[in-house]
Structure 1
């Protein structure tokens, strides 16, 4: 006699532990408790020597603006860097881990902005974050360099202790090296340099550590280049952050062919914006406290072990 199979049950009984709730909680938080982190973050920063609050400390605050729905994934908050200044705020969203990353990046940005001796309307500095440099070369050794900051990471123990950024670990470096090998090395990535100038800028670009520009033959090539760089950190570019600029002159960036005399020697000046394909060759990591760069990848081989 064939026994009847029990009916499949796709829901959990009320008295059973809610696996669905646990999964939903993991999606919302990213495995990180924002509220616990916030309790520590809002404590005044202390001078490591005197143990007294730093004089420029301003207490932040946030308001939770997450829609009250059962299917909600993530949180929406309005973050105020200074709780007494209602005019300066940022609308942030994502998992708990995402929110922590956004706030630490904003804090790092503000610290750099306050300390930078810059002119009117200058953009916040990205100095202080670890820096990855990627080198590209043509067959005749013309060079291209692209840089991206490791936003949200630091090699400075003081900054890490204040929870303004995560300490860079060997595991982080290995992960970045592996990503670069896959994205640039294995594909023999080619940057098509040209006379067009495509820039990537704005608040999101700065928070991603990738505000800058590239000379390209076509804007689509530039977008692809910035997209590839951001893949190192599993991020994507802001579509509204791209701008194209150029010139109406037909001679401004023309390849020089006439010799000029410099200090008694005849030379042909280098082309300002050559049309040339440069292929990925290597990538290095520069840490502010380390005196020499760390070689991460050479062609399609991970060097950092």
Structure 2
């Protein structure tokens, strides 16, 4: 005789370690219950997959690209929709949120992940819940919250070639039964490894540090108040992801010049002026070609 197997009921109050809680719909839910194309990484998953910054997300997620553009801006593209415009008036097509709060003109490229609870990436339009600038999707970074009644501390240090140093740490301090403080920070430093052909120190070095403090107050079981403060500073000669190599305009007006019309002389990552001679560059703007620096 065959006896049907009865599934065991899960005990109330137990939490499955494999369940990731997300706030993709403005409320805490299991990622499996959210009817949205969402990918979430817990702190353990970020460390296991070595996701240290926003650029690393494109290595583990489909339909995601991250590009460092000119003038310290960046573009986070989801399903081919992003922001490749250069200018202070350009709107992002991908919403960047920190703890569900929108960030504008964010410096994603410069930051490093540290002491996070999770990172959520929502693909597809999310304007209903996240407002404008969410045509492509949303990247929501959630920092770790202070824990009541628990003292915790952790630290991590790395050293590599080019005198690369990375130090990050966290401390969680309970203050009574209803108050807790959590402080965390990161320090990154590295010598440059790109040779400067004009002499001087090497380029593409790094030196940055970031500090974050959080205070949680729970006066009643139904009331939670979180206060955050953060500070970030960077002082280096770090280069973009897509480097540019060009012949400089001796007048300093046009930027990059191109001496040859042959296809093999073009650089795929060069600027717009590198694909035109100075005569062509001026002609398309209605300036007399007599002011051009060279001939066709």
Same fold per TM (> 0.5)?
no
TM-score, with normalisation over the residues of structure 2?
0.24
Higher-helix-fraction structure: 1
State the structure with bigger RCO (CA 8 A, min sep 6), 1 or 2: 1
TM-score, with normalisation over the residues of structure 1?
0.23
